[in-house]
Structure 1
Amino acid sequence: MKVVIDENKCVGAGQCVLAAADVFDQRDEDGIVVLLNPLPADDLSAQVEDAAARCPALAIEVVK
């Protein structure tokens, strides 16, 4: 699994961090998503897919 983010779409809602804190974080200055791990382990797939589904701006893409 590969995770791709589009910072230009991100609105800083933070739902990704709530769903998968091992994979996502937010910049302090504006809340924009920071990708901590673009190739997360398979055991995080459910959390990452949940994060992508929660994103109100559809800024997260999960490539399998």
Structure 2
Amino acid sequence: MADQITNPKNLIRLKDAIERYSLSRSTFDRAANAGAITKHTLGRAAFVDTHQIDAWILGESQSN
């Protein structure tokens, strides 16, 4: 529970992230496979955390 307070998630639909950041779905898939971002699924919808995307774009991601 404390993890949620210290690391809040700002989830948006993947299709909205594609439009917002002008990146392709395959780019998001590669970032998720590399561990730079996490894709969350609920049913058929995929969601991504905008904080993770911003950090990834700025080169601040925690990928291995």
Q: TM-score, normalised by structure 2?
A: 0.29
